[in-house]
């Protein structure tokens, strides 16, 4: 229950902070704190998504564009994702279905480095935006979560992907 409240609060804050822009945020945890890495204003070929149809354009993001609001954390994030060798994080919406007036279900393929994984993600429609989130793991993508100071500080395996997409009806 506590996790659901925290996720709902994060979604609300994310919607409020990034109004009128597409966004993807990656939220994670260490054993001592939390972190958020985002591309606050990513754009794709159709920056405003039509929800009359059932197709959403693919999204390709540069890892170098992510900002974790802390220089060391940003550098570590890019290093863990091997941004020099694998510069993109790719997101493909394979299926997108309206389930009721403001709810949608999607099958989304997320590709980091050489691994692509499919996830079912529920989206809500709110103030001309589609908002959804999915908990994934570093290990889903064969990434070992980083450790610092000989393992005293470590990043937990779980990450939340939070989507916020401008829409038009």
Distance CA 133, CA 161 (A): 5
- What is the pLDDT at residue 78? 92
The answer to whether the Cα torsion of 133, 47, 23, 60 is positive or negative is positive
Ranges of residues in the chain with a pLDDT under 70 are 1-21, 40-55, 168-169
Residue 121 contacts residue 136 (beta carbons within 8 Å): no
- What is the pLDDT at residue 22? 72
Residue 12 Ramachandran class (φ > 0 left, ψ -120 to 50 alpha, else beta): alpha
- What is the pLDDT at residue 114? 92
CB-based contacts of 148: which residues, under 8 Å, 6+ apart?
154
Residue 96 contacts residue 56 (beta carbons within 8 Å): yes
Distance CA 20, CA 165 (A): 9
- What is the pLDDT at residue 14? 41
Among the listed residues 110, 113, 115, the one whose alpha carbon sits nearest the alpha carbon of residue 136: 110
Distance CA 169, CA 160 (A): 27
Among the listed residues 27, 142, 146, 139, the one whose alpha carbon sits nearest the alpha carbon of residue 76: 146
- What is the pLDDT at residue 165? 80
For the chain, which domains are there?
2-168 (2.40.128.110)
């Amino acid at each position: 229950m506590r996790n659901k409240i925290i996720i709902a609060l994060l979604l609300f804050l994310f919607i409020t902070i990034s109004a009128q822009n597409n966004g993807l945020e990656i939220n994670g945890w260490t054993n001592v704190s939390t972190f958020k890495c985002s591309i606050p204003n990513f754009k794709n070929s159709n920056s405003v998504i039509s929800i009359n149809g059932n197709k959403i354009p693919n999204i390709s993001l540069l890892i170098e564009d992510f900002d974790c609001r802390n220089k060391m954390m940003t550098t570590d994030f890019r290093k863990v994702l091997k941004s020099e060798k694998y510069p993109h994080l790719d997101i493909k919406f394979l299926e997108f279905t309206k389930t009721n007036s403001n709810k949608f279900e999607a099958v989304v393929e997320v590709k980091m480095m050489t691994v692509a994984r499919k996830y079912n993600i529920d989206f809500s429609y709110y103030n001309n935006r589609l908002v959804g989130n999915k908990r994934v793991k570093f290990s889903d993508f064969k990434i070992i979560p980083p450790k610092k100071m000989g393992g005293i500080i470590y990043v937990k395996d779980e990450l939340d992907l939070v989507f916020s997409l401008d829409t038009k009806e």
